[in-house]
Each structure stands twice: as structure tokens, then as C-alpha cells.
Chains A and B, each alone.
Chain A
Amino acid sequence: MALRFSFLQGFNSSIDQILRLQQQTFQTQEQISTGRRIVTPADDPVASARVIQVQQELSQVGQYITNADAVENRLSLAENQIQQVTNLLARIKELTIQAGGLNTQADRQSIAAELDTRLDELFDLANTRDINGEYIFAGFKGGTQPFIQNADGSFSYQGDDGQRFVQIATTTSVPISDSGFDIFVDIPNSFNTFNAFENAANTSTATITNSALTDQANYDAVYPEDYVVVFSNATDYDVFTRSDLLDNGVFDGPPVFSGTGFTSGDTIDGNAPPQNLGWEIAITGTPAAGDAFEIRSTDTQGLLDTVYNLAQGLENLTDAEEAELDVLFATTLDNINAAEANMSQIKAQIGARQNTLDSVRDLLKGVELVNQEVLSELRDLDYAEALSRLTLETFTLEASQQSFARISNLSLFNFLR
């Protein structure tokens, strides 16, 4: 059976072989001209699937690197602003020391004038906005101005503690913001003090226009008790402790003290005997029944408040009030030192983040490189191999074409003359 070889079979198989070789050669040629081992996924379906995975990883890593770059920009802005705050603090400290050596109120008042402009600068820095108009020290409330000055001159923080994180690796995310609370507000005070504010649920527009610590020793004795002034009508009020309020929302204990006949602008004196609490607040306006005003104890004081209090003291304290002045200078210096320490700490945190950023970015670049190598290995052509393959294929093709031409000429009919 194998001895017979039909005329058609001979042609068909030779042509078939030649076509197959041609196809291989063209495929190799296409690989060489594209530089890819896999021209269409069908060439190596299994490697193609792997290519997709690696590309996904590359895209993810690329995004992380982009993120890291953006984080760096934000951290630099924050660092720069903190540095400016630090510079301002140095000047304010200088001014404080300078004022301590002055004898007359008039001289002190001229220093107070400069302090006011420094305070404005500080206020602006605390309310820094980025290029998008977002307040960078407002926590999550980037659309809200974080620091405002109240009627009594004190400063309030309107932002929150929110800290924005950006993911820079699968399991690593770094904070890219610090809240104004941490930077400017939560600074240890050299003495116990309090913040006074209107309860958010108040129905009248009565405001606290003055609040003062009138006797530190008395206040220290009751610290950290918080107080609430509750009006039962426009003229009568009771003062409770806050813990009384928070015990299920009803004031069931007897008030600490009570007052009657309140009119707008009156001072509620918590330091009057027999209560001797060490604080006083003045309220302007007509309180409605149920309105509450809180005296919240704290051992921290905002930087803006510290500078404001200093400026006010330099402005208003007379030469006779030497003792108060001494206390003012001493506590202000303490507080500014504390603020400087706080700024250093924040700067150190930002620095640490930048270090994290750098090392993660190096790592990411490494991963990117490795992935690109893997991708290249999967997809790209080994030219040496491909070119020698092409040579072999073209050689085989030519050989089979030549041999076909020759063999197809072999026919007995050629000899029948």
C-alpha cells in the first residue's frame, strides 16, 4: 500500500507543507516587526492571561506612585506653613521678652501693636488654603474656615479632627493632613483655665462677651469640674455642674449657686463667696428660658488665644499691675515654648511621613521594574532566537520549494517520445 503514491497526493502534500512553512515564516516575521512574542492573545493564550494580570499590577503600582507624588506636594505645603508658624513664634517670643524689660504701658502698647499684626499673620497661616481653595488645617471641613474670633476675643476652632489618608501601597496609607486642632489648639497651658461658650441648642442670641479667670487658686481647687449656667427665664439662672447634667440629662442635684435679676451685660461671678469657683463670665443679650452657657475646664490653650491674651495684657495692664504682668509674661513664654514643642512634633511627624513615602516609593519603583521585566519576558521577543528561527524557516521553505519544483518534473511521460 505504501508503495503507491498518487499524483494528486504528491502535489497536495507538497503544497500543504509549503503553505505551512510560509505561514510559520510570516508569523515569525510579524513577531520580529512588532517586537512581540505574542502578537495576538491566541499565539499564547496562557501567557496572555498572565500579561493581563501583570498589567493590572503595573497599573496599580503606577497609581500608587502617582499618589505618593501628590502626597509629597501636600506634605511640603503643610511643612512650609508650619515652618512659617515656627518663625513667627520666635518673633513673638522675642517680643514677649522685650516687653518684659519695658517699664511703661505706652512702650508695651507699641509692642502690642506689632503683636496684633503677628497675630493676624498667625491667624492667616492657621486658615491656609490650598490651590483648590480648601482649608488645609480644617480637618474634613475643608470648605469651612477653621479659625474664627468670637465676640469675647477668644478664638474658636470650627474644623474637626479629621485626617485625610492616601493609599500609597496595598497595605500602607499615609496621612496627608493635620487638623488645626492638633496644631494650633491642643497645646498645653501653663495653668488650668476654661473655655466659655453658648450651648448650641440656645434659642436666644445672648452671647458671652467676656470670660475671665479671676482667681487661679480657687479655680485650681475645683478643676476639672465643668459648669453650666442655665436660665429658667430671662432674668433667673442656676449654675449646675456638668456631671449633674450628663447624669441622664436631668439636673437632679441642687444648683451650685443661683442668681436672679440678670440684665444684659451683667457678669455672672463664679468666684463670689461662698462658691469661690475662680471664674466669671459676662453675657450680653436677653437669654431665653432653657438657654445654657457652659464653662468647660481645660489645661490647654490655643496658640491664637495665648498671643491674643498677651497683646491684650500689654495693651491694657497698667504699670501698677506688675504682678499680673509678671504672671502674663511667665505663662505666655511657657505656652509659646509648648507651642514650639508642638510645632516640632508636627514637623517631625511630617518628616516621618516623608521618609515612609520615600522608602515606599523606592519599593514601588522596584516592584514596577520587576513587573516590567516579567511583562517583557512574557511578551517581548528574544530577537536572537527569532532571527535564527527565521533563517531556519526561510531556508526550509526555499529548500522545499526547490525540491518540489524538481520532483514535480519527474514523470515517465517526459521520456515517452
Chain B
Amino acid sequence: MSQTLLNIGVAGLSVNQTLLQVTGNNIANADIESYSRQTAEISTRNEQLRGNGYIGAGAFISGIDRVVDQFLITQLRLDTATFNALDIFSDNIKQVDSLLADDLSGLGPAIDGFFSAIESSAQDPTSEPARQVVLAKADSLVQRFITLEGRLRQQNESINEQLDSLTAQVTSLSAGIAELNQAIAEQIGRGQGAQPNQLLDQRDELLRQLAEIVNTTTIPQTDGTVNVFIGNGQPLVIGNEGGTLATEASSASPGDQDIIFIGSNGVPQNVTDFMSGGKLGGLLDFQEEVISFSLNSLGRISLALADEMNRQNALGIDLEGNLGGNIFNGINSGQQPAQRVVINSDNPSALGQDLIVTIDDVSELSIDDYTLRITGVTGTVADYTITNNTTGATVDTGNFDYGALAGGLIAADVDVNSASVDGFTITFEDGSLPPLVNDSFTIRPTRNAAGDIEVEMQRLAELAYAVPISANEAEGNDGNGIISPGVVFDTTTTQFATPGALSPEILIRFTSTTTYDVIDAGTNGIILGAQPFIPGQQNDVFPTDPLDPNYTGYQVQLSGVPVAGDEFTVGYNTNGSSDNRNATLLGQVRTKDILDGGSVSFENGYGSLIEDLGTRAAQADISSEAAQSLLFQSQSNRDSIAGVNLDEEASNLIKFEQAYNASAQIINVARQIFDTLLAVFR
């Protein structure tokens, strides 16, 4: 009997020693975040039948388990992915917002500076220092565009590098998880079902780290392994095999990276569009929503500015009496039209096509990118659709009809080889290879513009501050007729074809108080005879319809009280160095509504870019804070189940120590009983 008692005592010692070990292990690991506290499970030994009944035989340790709640761990992973995505998005958009909205580094002050210089110069059109300031400010405005564009591209580059390193991390994590899967399966087998708690903790930690990078789905298997899926069901880890995630230069969008998944079958798959959550998802969202958006918006503003200033300058004449040239480089000059097209490197055809995109009307441009897709080819006719990449809407369908192909190449002469939509035209150039079915081309009308703007004007005198026409009252008029100074809309008409002259110069002679003739002052031939003059209002002299044969590209108005014989002349504004009419109009471009079909000035266009970015930044900040508190919450929930509480362990320590002491006492009692029995025979 004392033998049994001794056995019970020894069992108690052993059980409590193990319990103390588990407690000690908990205390030792209290500092490790990923550690899940462990508890030992104690079971009662089978009782034994004695003459008077069943009697207990002590206890034993039946298992040591982690205290975990799988639901909370999954929740934690989900919240980790969400928070990391929003956090990295918010950090990055703050940088862009600060760059563009800053008092000093933004575009605003540069635009202000440029137009203030023009307005100052307009007061004093012959002043060379004032003109010098205008060109200097134009230069700093261009530099600002280029710097902002450069900074955005730099940020994009750094994101690409981060994508490289994040995908590498995913690959190494997936390898780690696969290894752990194997080890866990083996150890469970070896331990006949006993859980390798530390390995399980390690695997949970790797899965959490993976969730920091990208959203994952995990499916536990019966052998203790887990399978991990990312994106659109791509199997990143299956049992003991890990997949690879990598980056590759994008086929449709140079400068961007595609995310490539290579699974166990070794076939690379582009999963860029499927990646969500985690830093990877956040960065990809940021690239698409903010970088592209900002570059395109800036680009469109630079196009509008350059085009409108050039257009207005062309309506004037410079200090030397010549029609104005470009202030900025033309929006369809140099390599720009070709750079707006990206030939998808995955196209079925070779990369021999030669496409250009020219911008026809800045006011119709959107800030979106487009895809031109060849949907079918019959003979020399290629059907196409043009899709807006942002809205996904098909904006144009039609066909290119090349007619006769010269030596297999497109010949432009008589053929329909261009498509126009949203303010731009896509053209297959002469000598281009014809497209094949399923070819696609990314069209980015505004993407590079902010980096391509240049100041083309070299000489101060070329700023065209004067208007080419000069309307005058002849000396000796008896009446009080008034001729307006005149406005010029178009200097490409024959009227302005001869440099330094108006062809023809015009003489307006009143034949009565209500009629006048418009006479060619050179030949004295009547151009418009017996025109009605309505006293008390402004009378347009020339037709306003550009298709009218008498359209001149300019307009003057008559008013006042003329009498028969009164004459007015319209001639070239020779020596009009003090004229500032066009300079004033150049200054007014600042507030002219150009963008979005002529409803938004480009200054306001910039304002709305800032506003948009600002709103997104504010939103991202709020969402990221909310996600952080959710993450904190689920971390707390996990910790309150799995974390170590030292007070609890202290009390366990006391409890188990006391139980241990008691068990030792049992052995002592057993020994004394045995001694007492022996003493009887002594």
C-alpha cells in the first residue's frame, strides 16, 4: 500500500515539476510578441480495484498546449493587412500633397510669378528689363513643372524599388512557411499528435509578417500544415512548397512594375491587378490613384498653359513687327506625339508600328489614359475600340482603312489611318507596319507633358505684345464716328500672309450717315459695298463666320455719329511698339477658362488637383487611423487570450510549488509508514 502511496507522491512530484517548467517557460517568454502562453493538461491516472473499491492512482501530464484562438489570429492578420495598406498609402500621399500644395515648392507661386511679370510688362511694352523678367519667370515656371514631374517620378521609382524588395520578402516568407509546414507535419507525426507549440508560433508569426505585405487566405490541413493563397487564389504555399513573387517591367506602362507570380508549375502569371491589402496593395493603389493622376493633371495643365500662351502670342506682333512665334515649345513638337503611345510589348505583332498621338484641342482633354485595341483585321481594314482606362468606358470604335499598302507598310496618302476622340488624334504614320488583331496600345496624352515643356522663345523682342492691326480715324472727318481698336482671332488668313503688312489695307468710307463702303485701300476696289450702319450700337465691319469668303481673321467695330465722307482706315500696326493690347490678353490667359471644355482655368485646374489630393490625403489619414485602432483592438484581443500575465504566472508558481511540496510530503509520509512497519519487526 505504501508502494502505491509512494507512486502517487512521485506522480504528483512529476506533474507539478512539469507545471513549474511550463510556468517558468511562460515567464521566460513573456517578452516575445509572437509567443502564445502554454498550459499543461493534467489527467487523473486510472484507478485500481482493491478489495474495498476503486482507489485513485495519482495524475499525469497528458499534453502541453498553446492557448490560442484561431479566429482571433485570422482577424489579426486581416487587420494587419488593412492597416499596412492604408498606412503606406497615407504616408506616400502626404508626401505628394506636401510637394504640390506647399507655399514654396508648389506650382501656384510659379504661375503667379509668370503672369505678374506679364502684367507688369504690359504696362510698359517697350521696356526690355520687364520683358526679360517675363522670360526669366517663364523659365522658372517650366523648371517648376519639370521639378514637380521629376519628384513624382522619383517617388514612383522608389515605390518600384519597394515593390522589388516586398516581393522578395514574400518569396522568402513563403519559403519559410513551407519549411515550417514540413517540420510541423514531421514533429506531429513523431510526437504522435503532440503539438510543436514553438513551431506553430513561428509559423503564425511568419503569416502575420506576410499579411503586412499582402492580403492572404490560409486553409489549415489535417496534417498540421497550412496552405496560403494570395491575390486571386494564387497558391503561394502548398504544403512544403513555396511559390515565388517577383517584379517585372510593365508591358503596357513603361516606368511601372508588374507583379509576377510563379507557382509550383513554374509558369509566370501577371497578378498586379489582383494584389490587395498590405504594403504591396497600398503601394500599387498609390501608384495608380495618385502618381498617375498627379502626373496626368500636371501634364494637362502644362499643355493648356503652353498651348494657350503660344496661341495668344501668335495673334500678336513682336517688337520687330513680325507675327508672334512660340513662347513654349509646341504641344505636338519633337518626340512628344510618339511618346504618348506605348506599344504593348505583349502584342501579337512585332513592335514595328509607328503611331503618334497629336493633341487637337486642349479643352477636350481628360486626365485619363486610354487603350487602343485592334479587334479585327480584314484585308487592309483594322477595326478598333478605344477604351478609357479610368472609367472603363469605350469612347470610340471604328476602323482604320489603309487602302493600298506600300510594300506591306502603311501609306498615308489617301487612307484613313487616324482616329480622333477626347481632344486627341491617334495616327498610324507613313511606313508603319499594319496592326494585327488583338494588338493593344496604351495612349497617355498627358502623362509626360509636364516634363516635356520648354521655353522656346530666345529673344525678348519676340514677345508679341502688339496686335497686328491698327484702326484709325482719318484726319478731317466731319462726323463723330468711332472705330474700335480691333480684335484679331486668326493670323493664318491671307490678310496676314505677307510679313509686316495687312493684305489688303482697308479704307472704310461712309456714303451716308447709315451706310458705308469697305474699300481695298490699295486698289480702291469695293470689298463690301453699301453696308448698313446702325447708329447707337457697335457695328461689326467683317463677317464672323470663318467660312465666309470675306472673313478676315480680325474684326473692327464702328459706332458714334459719322457723316457721309468720313473715313476710317485699318492697316498693319507698323512700328506699334507701344501697343500693349496683346500683352493684356496674354496676361488674361491666367484666368481664362480653358480646361474641361472651357469651364475651368488652368489655375483652378491646379487648385482642384490640390483639393482632390488634399481630400484623399485627409481621407487616407482618417482611414489609416481607424485601421490602426482596429488593429490595436484585435492585437489586444489576441494578447488577452495568448499573452502571458506575470501575476497569473506568479500565482501559478506559488500554487505549483505548494503542490510540489505537498507531493514531496506524501513521499515522506509513505517513507514514515514503511519505517513504522519495519520498526514493528525490530
Contacts and interface: CB of A to CB of B under 8 A. Distances in A.
Given A1-B637, A246-B524, A298 B476 contact: yes
Given A226-B565, A413-B650, A165 B610 contact: no
A410 B478 CA distance: 108
Size category, A interface = 35 or more
Nearest to B120: A66
A8 B649 CA distance: 13
Interface in A179-193: 181, 185-186
Interface stretch (A47-55, A319-327, A343-351): A47-55
18 contacts: A4-B648, A7-B30, A9-B643, A13-B636, A44-B618, A48-B614, A49-B101, A59-B109, A132-B124, A134-B126, A134-B578, A140-B577, A140-B579, A141-B578, A143-B577, A157-B475, A224-B565, A412-B647
B476 A63 contact: no
A215 B222 CA distance: 129
Nearest to B509: A246
A6 B639 contact: yes
Interface stretch (A88-96, A166-174, A391-399): A166-174
Interface string B117-144: 0011011111100000000000000000
A106 to B, nearest CB: 36
A347 B143 CA distance: 47
A166 B112 CA distance: 18
Given A2-B640, A13-B636, A296-B476, 14 more contacts: A1-B637, A1-B640, A8-B31, A9-B643, A41-B610, A41-B614, A53-B607, A56-B111, A143-B126, A176-B123, A248-B524, A248-B526, A412-B647, A413-B646
Interface stretch (B256-264, B399-407, B584-592): B584-592
A411 interface: yes
A296 B637 CA distance: 103
A15 interface: no
B577 A142 contact: yes
Contacts of B621: 42
A162 B526 contact: no
A18 B669 CA distance: 56
Contacts of B603: 56
Nearest to B69: A1
Contacts of A167: 119, 122, 584, 587-588
Contact of B607 (A52, A161, A298): A52
B97 A162 contact: no
Given A1-B637, A41-B97, A161-B473, A177 B578 contact: yes
A120 interface: no
A190 B106 CA distance: 65
Contact of A56 (B33, B123, B607): B607
Overall SS of chain A's interface: mixed
Contact of A7 (B614, B618, B637, B645): B645
B628 to A, nearest CB: 10
B475 A185 contact: yes
A375 to B, nearest CB: 11
Interface of B: 30-31, 33, 37, 94, 97-98, 101-103, 106, 108-109, 111-112, 115-116, 119-120, 122-127, 466, 470-478, 483, 485, 507, 509, 517, 519-520, 523-526, 565, 573-581, 584, 587-588, 590-591, 603-604, 606-607, 610-611, 613-618, 621, 632, 635-637, 639-648, 650-651, 653-654
B615 A416 contact: no
Contacts of A157: 475
A67 interface: yes
B524 A249 contact: yes
Interface string A217-245: 00000001010000000000000000101
A216 interface: no
Nearest to A193: B476
Contacts of B607: 49, 52-53, 56
A195 interface: yes
B476 A195 contact: yes
A71 interface: yes
Nearest to A45: B614
B119 A8 contact: no
B123 A71 contact: yes
B618 A143 contact: no
Given A143-B577, A160-B472, A45 B565 contact: no
Nearest to A41: B101
A46 B611 contact: yes
A70 interface: yes
A62 B120 CA distance: 11
A67 B122 CA distance: 9
Given A48-B610, A161-B471, A226-B565, A5 B645 contact: yes
Contacts of A226: 565
Interface in A73-118: 74
Contacts of A134: 126, 577-578
A250 B590 CA distance: 50
A56 B31 contact: no
B30 A141 contact: no
Given A224-B565, A248-B524, A45 B108 contact: no
Contacts of A185: 475
**In the complex, the 8 A-B pairs of residues with the closest C-beta atoms, listed nearest first:** A6-B643, A298-B476, A45-B614, A142-B578, A249-B524, A412-B650, A41-B101, A9-B639
A253 to B, nearest CB: 14
Contacts of A173: 584
Contacts of B650: 411-413, 416
B610 A42 contact: no
A143 B574 CA distance: 10
Contacts of A176: 123
B576 A140 contact: yes
Contact of A70 (B94, B123, B473, B577): B123
A243 B523 CA distance: 14
A208 to B, nearest CB: 15
Given A161-B471, A167-B587, A144 B617 contact: no
Report which residue of B584, B614, B654 has the largest number of chain A beta carbons within 10 angstroms of its beta carbon.
B614
A297 interface: yes
A246 to B, nearest CB: 6
A139 interface: yes
A129 to B, nearest CB: 11
Contacts of B507: 246
A372 interface: no
B676 to A, nearest CB: 37
Nearest to A194: B476
B162 to A, nearest CB: 20
A16 interface: yes
A176 B578 CA distance: 11
A157 B635 CA distance: 91
A276 interface: no
A173 B651 CA distance: 89
